[in-house]
Structure 1
Amino acid sequence: MAIEIKTKGELYDVCIVGSGAGGGMAAKVLTEAGLKVALLEAGPDYDPANPEQQTQLKWSYESPRRGANTTRPFGDFDAAYGGWEIEGEPYTKAKGTEFDWFRSRMLGGRTNHWGRISLRFGPNDFKRHDFDGLSDNWPIGYDDVKPYYDRVDKMIGVFGTKEGIYNEPDGYFLPPPKPRLHEMMIKKAAGKIGIPVIPSRLSILTRPVNKDRGSCFFCAQCSRGCTVHADFSSSTCLVKPARKTGNADVYVNAMAREVLTDKEGRATGVSYVDKTDMQEYQVNAKIVVLAASACESARLLLNSKSSAHPNGLANSSGMVGKYLHDSTGASRGAFIPQLMDRKRYNEDGVGGLHLYIPWWLENKKLDFARGYHIEFWGGMSMPSYGFGFGMEKTNGKYPTVEGKMKDAGGYGAALKNDYRRYYGSTVGFAGRGESIPRVENYCEIDPGAVDKYGIPVLRFNYNWTDQEVKQAKHMQDTFEEIIHSMGGVASGDKPGADEKYGLLAPGRIIHEVGTTRMGNNKNTSVLNKYNQAHDVNNLFVVDGGAFVSQADKNPTWTILALAMRASEYIVDQLKKQNI
């Protein structure tokens, strides 16, 4: 007996799947242009100012788990519903693959938990093939995206300073917060060895940009969701204004199954499972926009098979799911004797770094292609669950101010005294770099596995190359160089070749992109330069899947800019009756 699929709502102009950076921006632009939009989100509604959902400004003891990560991957108070593992929503890995897939299930998606590092791609980042011959150039350049970066800066707000670095383009910046003591020490030490340290660029309001959002009050808890909406998340900065237009219907707890098509292969809507009653529904629309995240959107396309699209929707090239790549990541901690026995004062600042190290060796001859930036942490923020000396032991001991080693352990007054003396004396460094997009790294549908909704799941095939491993080695060498310049002691033993120099598994940085990449050749790409599917002109993908390459920058600002550009293209094409 056939299952009855119920229809929700009217015939919409646009159905958007996913409410993160890309989906939220599309919803805002399209509704403000007067289009009727259905926005599907796989998780619940969310507003960090809602008292029932608020976790900001709570003490660890207010949680039965003391804020530990037993229920959420980044801690009990973190604004991340989802994680690398979700009950009933598995994914599989081919033999030899280490790929961890983070899914966010909530209005606003991953933008509720992220570092708010809001960097533009530079001119070179769109044309990397011209420099190293690896992978492909984008079909667009920086000048095509710059006007949209400018508007995103002004719409959402980002602090920073104008530095005049060619491949780290300046924008429209709010005043940055002052650096904290450990950051000033890193800047001084790095400067001695020729490494630049500049104010970070975070989408956190150091002064208001509109009447709907407050400015940061420096509680340093952005990862918990901001009750005054001073930091950027799609749910508060994009979806909320879209709802205010009266043109958006938001369907939460809606797990998308497939994109529906007609006999000609054009998109007609989306079918989804409502998590509250486990029934299947469909939303009909003239245009479908996917923004479910790079891998989730690829999964939707591959599961949307029909006589017109036997290999999956928009997949005549066979490129859907291919060229998957994530940022590289490696880290190291250190003990800084000069930071021992500090006076106590409020050093919280914003929820993230006040300074960072941009890639400083652009176009220099190295044994790996492309580059990385360095983030760092430290200071006297509120101790979290499991607080100790904040660093690893070396040979079972902690370092002391004299440079000798202190036996681990202790209890009572002596242990409390150690905590007080060492509190605030540790720093950490994290490299985030560009990997090489490869057709051999991809996700596909696993023919033998489904999730609890009966939807076939993804299987990942992914391996790092020597390019990424050598880049991680360079990161570790740089961390130690800076630590030694600070007069510090690096924590633990330096990871070696057998550990890939501390290179994290792909997926761990949560920057995966490239699965529906854009290009001028429909035989080697999925989308055109406006994020429009080559095979289906009323289908668009506006998440990180469109990326041809990643750059050493976080992808969110580019997702936002491209989603704005694509959405305005949709409005223009509708007016011209081309869609």
Structure 2
Amino acid sequence: MQIIEPSETYDVCIVGSGAGGSMAAYVLAQAGANVVMLEAGGPWSEEDADMLTWTYESPRRGAAIETRHFGEFDACDGGWSLEGEPYTSAEGTRWDWWRARMLGGRTNHWGRISLRFGPDDFRGKSLDGYGDDWPISYDDVAPYYDKVDELVGIFGSQDGFYNEPDGRFLPPPEPRCYEKRVMRGAESIGVPVLSSRLSILTQAKGDRAACHYCGQCNRGCSVGANFSAGRVLLRPAQATGNLTLVTHAMAREVLTDREGRASGVSFVNTQTLEEQQVRADVVVLAASACESARLLLNSASERHPNGLANSSGVVGKYLMDTVGASASAFVPALASQPTHNCDGVGGMHIYIPWWLYDQHASLGFPRGYHLETWGGRGMPGYGFGGGIQGQNGSLPGDRRGAGGYGRQLKDDYRTLYAARVGFSGRGEMIAREDNFCEIDPASVDKYGIPTLRFDVTWSDAEIQQARHMQMAMREILESIGGEIDEMPTEETQYGISSPGSIIHEAGCVRMGDDPTTSALNEYCQAHDADNVFVVDAAPFVSQPHKNTTWTILALAWRAADYLIDQRKQRNV
């Protein structure tokens, strides 16, 4: 490859334009830093969204395509398999690795579930002996959660529920019909139900309109009502004149000088296949947890023989995802509903928090989970199993007598539509050193960059957690009169998701006070190279059952503030 030398030196080079990278760019550019951002995918903005495209406008009725695994109109280019970008798993293990390839990354497609980690989530080992405590507490992060709430916008209610910290919320939307039934049933058996906490505006904020309830958040929001990094963070960062965006830039390695400090980033232009370089005083990695680990491991040098920031040997280790399991039921009371407006935001209006925090001694597994609910009269389309796809799931009509074609089929579907309710459990995976990714010595991608090999398994703790999820979901579904699907068996590990498939990868470049057992300090700064920071989910010491994005945003803001202070003191 021809190497194109840089023409200038930036203050900061950021790799990755998702939640962490965009937040770092926003804070640093506002502070006056000269920032360059490298994004492996192409440009994208909400003007490119298919938010209001009818499914019948496509011959595929919106079904998945090769580069849009969640549907043709989904806003996120990428997937679990990308042409020319392989990855492998060790024998007997599995990891499903989702990679976004577009400006804004995964923030263009996610559930917008924006839960704060609670005080207990930062000190799990002290409470039950599993994993490790974080080097920071909830009190260290809380001011940044507040800032993210106010900048981005989030709805919810003040509940005062244990280990589920309240935020600075906009008013929540009213629960839908089926959600009200779930609330009554769950509460009748002592299971609490709270308003969802989603980063979707229910009141206008600046030039962003309030949600108009089209329910298509995963397609990208043309009015900016939901959070995506491009609209909320990158647009104002660019307006400062201090941010340079370079798309189609696949990072190859972090360049270092003779002292072992970062001096820039080498990347491959994915359109011309030329190798190019940018020079920067500071390098911030935010490419997603596994991609950031891959970059560090591929950045070996004389001063860093095991990879950059890896004198501890922990880079790539302690890989985590969220534990997932699902259940659903046909609810006769919801059949033959009169046609009514069941719209809402593109996600649930209620959720069930972890309510058995004081009973772990009798449960047979540590930590906890929450339950997300789905159902209703969302945009129909041909979905899974030949049934009707509802708000967030599918209604297998062939199991309820619907079939054939013409009038009978239409009448059956009118009767059955929106009569199915389901839950998706989301639980904590314990961080273990023997769950890891590493460089595969026998594989490179189409850009000549060594690829990753994964070695990840569920422990009995996660499998027993999935079992408990299944029983809890079924008890709630029974409480609302549901006719429940068959219970997954022990042989299928109770229907537990495959590792990686929930797309909450975390760990791999963990933070800690001890440089011999961690790669980063509490400000996401590398112990081995003080001008290297990592601000995606890679620094996480644990991965609670809460979704990762709000904590990524808060920690990235905290790290950027620290970097600004250190630059002012000329320490970095």
- Following TM superposition, by how much is the alpha carbon of 1:155 offset from its aligned partner in structure 2, in angstroms? 0.4
Q: Structure 2: which amino acid aligns with 1:373?
A: H
2:512 to 500, 519, 537: 519
Which residue type is aligned with residue 429 of structure 1? F
Show the counterpart of 1:345: 340
The offset of 1:398, in angstroms, is 2.2
Q: Kindly tell me: are residues 9 and 222 of structure 1, through their superposed partners in 2, closer, same or farther at Cα, counting changes over 3 Å?
A: farther
The answer to whether 1:372 aligns with 2:366 is no
Question: In the TM superposition, what is the alpha-carbon distance from 1:9 to its structure 2 partner?
Answer: 4.8
Is 1:260 aligned to 2:255, yes or no? yes
Q: Distance in 1 between matches of 2:94 and 2:523?
A: 32
1:388–1:419 contact (8 Å) kept in structure 2: no
- Residue 492 of structure 2 corresponds to residue 499 of structure 1: yes
**In 1, Cα distance between the equivalents of 2:91 and 2:202?**
48
Q: CA RMSD in A?
A: 1.4
SS at match of 1:532: coil
Alignment of 1:79-90 (within 5 A): 79-90=75-86
- How far apart are the structure 1 equivalents of 2:6 and 2:324? 43
Match among 511, 524, 529 for residue 522 of structure 2: 529
Alignment of 1:390-429 (within 5 A): 398-399=399-400, 406=401, 409-429=403-423
Which secondary structure does the structure 1 equivalent of 2:65 belong to? coil
What displacement does 1:393 show?
Answer: 9.4
Aligned to 2:22: 24
Report what 2:471 is aligned to.
Answer: 477
Alignment of 1:453 onto 2:452: no
User: May I ask how many residue pairs the two structures share in their alignment?
Assistant: 564
- The Cα offsets for residues 394-442 of structure 1, whole Å up to 9 and x where unpaired, read as 9x9624xxxxxx4x64333222211110011011100000010000000
Deviations 1:424-471 (A, max 9, x none): 101110000001000000000000000000000000000000000000
Q: Which residue does the alignment assign to 1:144?
A: 140
Q: Give, in whole Å, the separation in 1 of the partners of 2:356 and 2:61.
A: 43
**Is contact 2:380-2:388 (8 Å) kept?**
no
Residues 324 and 424, structure 2, Cα contact 8 Å, conserved in 1: yes
CA contact (8 A) 1:60 1:385 kept: no
Distance between the aligned counterparts of 2:388 and 2:219, measured in 1?
24
Question: Contact (CA 8 Å) 1:358, 1:373: kept in 2 or not?
Answer: yes
Partner of 1:191: 187
1:489 aligns with 2:490: no
Alignment correspondent of 1:281 = 276
Residue 467 of structure 1 corresponds to: 461
Aligned to 2:437: 443
> Quick one: distance in 2 between partners of 1:163 and 1:254?
44
List gaps (5 residues or longer) in structure 2. none
Greater mean deviation of Cα atoms: 57-66 or 470-479: 57-66
Partner of 2:127: 131
Preserved contact between residue 316 and residue 509 of structure 2 (Cα < 8 Å): yes
Candidates 54, 57, 63, aligned match of 1:62: 57
| Structure-2-length-normalised TM-score | 0.97
1:316/1:535 contact within 8 Å kept: yes
Aligned to 1:309: 304
Deviation string for 1:467-495 (max 9, x for gaps)?
0000000000011101111011112x210
2:382–2:388 CA contact under 8 A, matched in 1: no
Report the AA paired with residue 29 of structure 1.
V
Aligned-pair CA distance for 1:64: 3.1
Distance 2:199 2:429 in 1: 25
Give the aligned partner of residue 550 of structure 2: 557
Quote the Cα distance in structure 2 between the aligned partners of 1:96 and 1:9. 48
Aligned partner of 2:331 in structure 1 is 336
> In 2, are the aligned partners of 1:317 and 1:522 still within 8 Å (CA)?
yes
Hey, what's the Cα distance between the residues in 2 that align with 1:225 and 1:520?
A: 40
Q: Paired residue for 1:402?
A: none
Equivalent residue for 1:173? 169
Per the TM alignment, residue 12 of structure 1 is displaced from its structure 2 partner at its CA by 0.2
State the AA in 2 paired with 1:129: K
Shift of 1:348: 1.7
Q: Are the aligned partners of 2:395 and 2:417 in contact in 1 as well (CA < 8 Å)?
A: no
1:567 aligns with 2:560: yes
Change (3 A) 1:163 1:9: farther
Q: What is the aligned counterpart of 2:531 among 538, 544, 552? A: 538
Say if 1:389 and 1:426, in contact at 8 Å, map to a contact too.
no
CA distance in 1, matches of 2:290, 2:168: 32
1:100 to 78, 86, 96: 96
Any idea what the Cα deviations from partners look like across 1:314-343, whole Å, max 9, x if unmatched? 100000000001000000111110111111
- Does residue 221 in structure 1 map to residue 220 in structure 2? no
Quick one: which amino acid aligns to residue 114 of structure 1? W
CA contact (8 A) 1:392 1:398 kept: no
Alignment equivalent of 1:109, drawn from 105, 130, 133: 105
SS of equivalent residue, structure 2 residue 264: strand
Quote the Cα distance in structure 1 between the aligned partners of 2:84 and 2:419: 42
The answer as to 2:20 corresponding to 1:34 is no
For residue 8 of structure 1, report the CA deviation from its aligned partner.
4.0
Q: TM-score under structure 1 normalisation?
A: 0.96
TM superposition shift of 1:38: 0.3
Q: Deviations over 1:512-560 (max 9, x none)?
A: 1010000001111100000000000000000000000011100100000
Q: Please report how far the alpha carbon of residue 347 of structure 1 lies from its aligned counterpart in structure 2 after TM superposition.
A: 1.1
**What residue in structure 2 maps to residue 300 of structure 1?**
295
- Superposition deviation, residue 392 in structure 1: 8.2
- Contact 1:158–1:203 (8 Å) recurs in 2: yes
d(CA) in 1 for partners of 2:443, 2:150: 45
Q: Distance in 2 between matches of 1:438 and 1:111?
A: 27
Q: Which moved more, 1:6-15 or 1:108-117?
A: 6-15
CA distance change for structure 1 residues 409 and 541 in 2, over 3 Å: closer, same or farther? Answer: same
Structure 2 counterpart of 1:14, one-letter code: V
- Aligned equivalent of 2:74: 78
Q: How far has the Cα of 1:369 moved from its partner?
A: 0.3
Q: Deviation string for 1:126-145 (max 9, x for gaps)? A: 00001110110000000000
Q: Deviations over 1:37-81 (max 9, x none)?
A: 0000000111012xxx22110011222322001231100000110
Separation in 2 of the partners of 1:384 and 1:518? 44
Q: Contact conserved, 1:294 with 1:545, CA < 8 A, in 2?
A: yes
Cα displacement string for residues 236-289 of structure 1 (whole angstroms, at most 9, x for unaligned residues)? 111111101000000001000000000110000001011121101001000000
Q: Could you tell me which amino acid in structure 2 is paired with residue 461 of structure 1?
A: D
**One-letter code of the match for 1:313?**
L
Q: Secondary structure at the match of 1:447?
A: strand
Determine the C-alpha separation between the residues in 1 that align with 2:230 and 2:291: 19
AA aligned opposite 2:399: Y
Amino acid at match of 2:166: D
Looking at structure 2, the residues matched to 26 and 64 of structure 1 have their Cα atoms a distance apart, in angstroms, of 41
Distance in structure 2 (CA, Å) of the matches to 1:255 and 1:119: 31
